[in-house]
Amino acid sequence: MQLASSSAAGVVNSSSPFFIVSKYGTKQIMLKQHTFNRHICRDDVTYWRCSQVSGMPRDRIF
């Protein structure tokens, strides 16, 4: 995969995954208008998580 480059019309083909750079400078994968952040790297396998995932609340209510 390579970093995305815009075409003359400014539209990038989103039918296959490609890398983009976030506003913080980290690489993300873009696939069908969804972005994914690198989550875990183990040996030669990288797991990606949707960038819209929110964590569970840290406060407990009893």
Task: Count Cβ atoms within 10 A of the Cβ of residue 36 and give its class: 0-12 exposed, 13-18 middle, 19 or more buried.
Answer: middle
C-alpha distances in Å from residue 45, one per residue of 21, 30, 53 = 21, 18, 21
Both tokens of residue 25?
A: 């400078």
Both tokens of residue 45?
A: 């396998």
What pLDDT does 9 receive? 42
Render each residue's pLDDT in the chain as its tens digit; 62 residues: 555 544 434 455 558 899 999 899 989 999 998 999 988 999 999 999 998 877 666 666 65
What pLDDT does 20 receive? 92
**Contacts of 60 by beta carbon, 8 Å cutoff, 6+ apart:** none
